Amino acid sequence: MSDIIRRDPRAEWIVRNRLHPLHLSLVKSQQGDVRGPSGLLRKNVRDVGFIGPNGIKRIDRANLLTVDTTTRRSASKDTQTARPLHVVEQADFYIMVVADMVGGRLTAHDKDLLGQAHRLVVQYSDVNSQCCGAVALVCFGQIKDDQLGLSGVDRLFHLEDTVYDGFSPEARLGALQQIESQYQPLHWLFPDSVHGGADLACRFSARIGERLAAHVWQLDREQCLSRGASGSMDIKRATPRIVTLLEECADPIEDTQHQALPMVLEPMAVPSARLKEKGQMAVDASAVPLAEAEFILSAGNGIHNWAQFHATATALGATEGASRVAVDEGFMPRARQVGASGTWVTARVYVAVGISGAIQHMQGIGQCDKVIAINTDAGCDMVKRADLAVIADSDALLMALASLVEQHQLAKHAEQIHGENSNAA
Amino acid sequence: MMLDWLPPTLIGVLLVLAGVGAIRRINLWRAGQAEEVAILAGLMAMPTRYLHDLHHVVDRDKYISRTHVATGGGFVLAMALIVLVHVFGVNNTLLAWALMAALVMMFCGALFVFKRRLNPPSRLSKGPWMRLPKSLLTFSVTFFVLTLPAAGILPDGTGRWVFTLVLSALILLSLSEVLLGMTWGGPMKHAFAGALHLAFHRRSERFGGGRSTGLKPVLFSDNDAVNKVHGVAKPSDFKWNQLLGFDACVQCGRCEAVCPAFAAGQPLNPKKLIQDMVVGFAGGSDAQYAGSPYPDGKGGVQEVGYAKGGADQIITDGLIHPDTLWSCTTCRACVEECPMMIEHVDAIVDMRRFLTLEKGDTPNKGAQVLENIIATDNPNGHSPESRTYWAADQNLALMKDVKKAEVLFWVSDGAFDMRSQRILRAFVTLLKAAKVDVAILGDEERDSGDVARRLGDDATFQSLAKRNLATLSQYRFSTLVTTDPHAFHCLKNEYGDFGSTALDGVEVLHHTTFLNRLVKEGRLRLDTFKGGKVTYHDPCYLGRYNGEYEAPRELLASLGIDIAEMERSAFRSRCCGGGGGAPITDIPGERRIADMRMEDVVSTGAEMVAVGCQQCTAMLEGVVEPRPVVKDIAEILVGQLVEEVH
Amino acid sequence: MQPNVNVVSLVSIGRHPQSGRARRAEQDGRAVELGLKLVQDKLTLLHAGNAHETVLRQYAGMGLDGFTVLPQGEGDDAVPVLVAYFKANRQHHSRQIVLTGVNAESGESSGMLPYLLAEQLGWPIVPRIADIVRVDEFEAEVLLALPRGQRRVVTVSLPFIASVDSAAQEPRQSAFARGLRATLTTLDYGSRVDDAVSHWQVAPAKPKPKRLKVVKAKTAADRMKAATAKPVGGGGKVLRNESVEEQAQAIFDLLLEEKVIR
User: Domain spans of chain C?
Assistant: 6-199, 220-257
Residue A109, pLDDT above cutoff 70: yes
CATH number of this structure's domain B377-511: 3.40.50
**A339-373 tens-digit pLDDT:** 877 788 888 889 999 998 888 888 888 878 889 99
- pLDDT value of position A79: 44
Which of B583, B588, B592 lies closest to A341 in CB terms? B583
Is the distance from CB of C97 to CB of C158 less than 8 angstroms?
A: yes
- A70 — pLDDT class (breaks 50, 70, 90): very low
Rounded to 5 degrees, what are φ and ψ at C22? -65, 140
Query: Rounded to a whole number, what is the distance in Å from the CA of A343 to chain B's nearest CA?
Result: 10
**Residue ranges, CATH 3.40.50.620, chain A:** 90-262
For A93, residues 6+ apart whose C-beta sits below 8 A from its C-beta are: A124, A131, A133, A134, A185, A186
Confidence bin at A251 (pLDDT 50/70/90): confident
Binned at pLDDT 50, 70 and 90, residue A80 comes out as very low
Yes or no: say if B106 and B75 are a contact pair by the CB < 8 Å rule.
yes
**C209 alpha carbon, distance to own chain's centre:** 25
Query: Could you give the count of Cα atoms lying within 13 Å of B400 in the half-sphere of its Cβ?
Result: 7
Higher pLDDT, A254 or B221: A254
Mutate to test the interface with B, among C36, C55, C57, C176 (most CBs of B within 10 A): C176
Q: Which of C109, C115, C238 sits opposite A206 (nearest CB)?
A: C115
For CATH 3.40.50.1220, list the domain ranges present in chain A: 285-405
Q: Shortest CA distance to A408 belongs to which of A316, A314, A285, A296?
A: A316
Average pLDDT value for residue range B105-134:
92
Across the interface, whether the CB atoms of B622 and A359 are under 8 A apart is answered no
Q: Does C180 touch chain A (CB under 8 A)?
A: no
What confidence score (pLDDT) does residue C156 get? 92
Q: What is the CATH number of domain B6-199?
A: 1.20.950
Measured from the Cβ of residue B593, the count of other Cβ atoms closer than 10 Å reads 25
Q: How many secondary structure helices (H) and strands (E) does chain B include?
A: 30, 10
Q: Which residues contact residue B403 at a Cβ distance below 8 angstroms, ignoring those fewer than 6 apart?
A: B474, B475, B476
Task: Determine, for residues B618 and A328 on separate chains, whether the beta-carbon distance falls below 8 Å.
Answer: no
Tell me the C-alpha to C-alpha distance, in Å, between residue A364 and each of A321, A367, A380, C1: 11, 8, 17, 41
| Residue B37 backbone dihedrals phi, psi, to 5 degrees | -140, 140
Q: What is the pLDDT of residue A423?
A: 54
Q: Say which of A295, A370, A404 has its CB closest to residue C248.
A: A404
Burial class (CB in 10 A: 0-12, 13-18, 19+), C250: middle
- Mean pLDDT is highest, among A399-413, B293-307, B398-412, for B398-412
Q: Is the predicted pLDDT of residue A69 greater than 70, yes or no?
A: no
Q: How many residues appear in chain C?
A: 262
- Using one digit for the tens of pLDDT, what is the confidence trace for B466-483? 999 999 999 999 999 999
With 70 as the cut, is the pLDDT of residue B528 above it?
Answer: yes
In CATH, which of 1.20.120.80, 3.40.1380.20, 3.30.420.40, 3.40.50.1220 is domain A285-405?
3.40.50.1220
Residue B270 preceded by cis peptide, ω within 30 = no
For A297-332, what is each residue's pLDDT tens digit?
999 988 888 998 998 888 888 889 999 888 887 888
Instruction: Tell me the C-alpha distance between B277 and B552, whole Å.
Output: 38
pLDDT in tens, B8-55: 888 889 999 999 999 999 999 999 999 989 999 999 999 999 989 999
More confident residue, B513 or B643: B513
- Can you tell me the distance from the alpha carbon of B28 to that of A299, in angstroms, rounded to the nearest whole number? 55
Q: What percent of chain B has pLDDT over 70?
A: 97
| Range of A207-211, B538-542, C82-86 with top mean pLDDT | B538-542
Instruction: Kindly state whether B578 is in contact with chain A, defined as any CB-CB distance less than 8 angstroms.
Output: no
Question: How many CB atoms neighbour CB B193 within 10 A?
Answer: 27
Average pLDDT for residues A263-283, to the nearest whole number? Answer: 80
Asked if the model's pLDDT at residue B223 lies above 70, the reply is no
Residue B284: pLDDT above 70? yes
Which of C196, C203, C236 comes nearest A387 by C-beta?
C236
- Stretch B58-76: mean pLDDT, rounded? 92
Task: Tell me which residue of A347, A382, A375 sits closest to A361, measured CA to CA.
Answer: A382
B140-163 pLDDT tens trace: 999 998 888 877 777 766 566 788
Q: Which chains touch A (3 or more CB pairs under 8 A)?
A: B, C
pLDDT digits (tens, 9 = 90+) for B487-509: 999 999 999 999 889 899 999 99
Q: pLDDT > 90: what percent of chain A?
A: 17
Q: Which of B137, B188, B213 is nearest to B14 (CA)?
A: B188
Mean pLDDT, residues A74-94 taken together: 68
- pLDDT of res. A286: 67
Percentage of chain B lying above the pLDDT 90 cut: 77
With a cut of 50, say whether residue A72 has pLDDT above it.
no
Model confidence at A420, in pLDDT bands (50, 70, 90)?
Answer: low
Q: What pLDDT, on a 0 to 100 scale, did the predictor assign at position B222? A: 61
Q: What architecture is the A90-262 domain classified under in CATH?
A: 3-Layer(aba) Sandwich (3.40)
- CATH number listed for the domain at residues B231-358: 1.10.1060
A contact residues 61-100, partner C, Cβ 8 Å cutoff: 61-64
Cα–Cα distance for residue pair B562/B535, rounded to 1 Å: 8
Name the superfamily (CATH) of residues C6-199: HUPs (3.40.50.620)
Phi, psi of B591 (to 5 degrees): -140, 175
Q: B3 or A269: whose pLDDT is higher? A: A269
Q: Which residues contact A39 (CB under 8 A, 6 or more apart)?
A: none
pLDDT reported for residue A74: 42
Contacts of B364 in chain A (CB under 8 A): 334
Q: State the average pLDDT over residues A66-85.
A: 52
User: Could C19 and B377 be called an inter-chain contact, meaning their C-beta atoms sit closer than 8 Å?
Assistant: yes
Taking the C-alpha atoms of residue B392 and residue B378, their distance in angstroms, rounded to an integer, is: 19
A4 and C CB contact within 8 Å: no
- How many CB pairs below 8 A link A and B? 27
Average of per-residue pLDDT values in chain B: 91
Asked if B367 is an interface residue toward chain C (Cβ–Cβ < 8 A), one would say yes
- Mind listing the pLDDT tens digit of every residue in chain C (262 residues)? 456 788 999 999 999 988 889 999 999 999 999 999 999 888 999 999 998 999 999 999 999 999 999 998 888 888 999 999 998 888 777 788 999 999 998 888 888 999 999 999 999 999 999 999 999 888 899 999 887 677 889 999 988 999 999 888 889 999 999 998 899 999 988 888 888 888 888 888 888 877 766 666 667 777 776 666 655 444 578 888 888 888 888 888 888 887 777 6
Chain C residue with minimum CA distance to A216 = C110
CA distance A23 to A15: 5
pLDDT reported for residue A92: 86
Spatial contact of B352 and B453, defined as CB atoms under 8 Å apart: no
Contacts (Cβ under 8 Å, ≥6 apart) of B569: B536, B537, B538
Do C38 and C132 meet the contact criterion of CB atoms below 8 Å apart? yes
**Distance between CA atoms of A123 and B353, rounded to whole angstroms?**
64
DSSP B606: -
Burial class, B506, CB count within 10 angstroms (exposed 0-12 / middle 13-18 / buried 19+):
middle
Span A193-214, average pLDDT: 91
pLDDT at position A328 is 81
Question: Which of A341, A340, A295 minimizes the C-alpha distance to A321?
Answer: A295
**Chain-wide mean pLDDT for chain A?**
82
pLDDT of the residue at A75: 44
B626 touches chain A (CB under 8 A): no
Least confident residue range of B7-11, B514-518, B609-613? B7-11
Q: Please say whether the beta carbons of B319 and B307 come within 8 A.
A: yes
Q: Please state, in angstroms and rounded to a whole number, the distance separating the CA atoms of residues A351 and B353.
A: 41
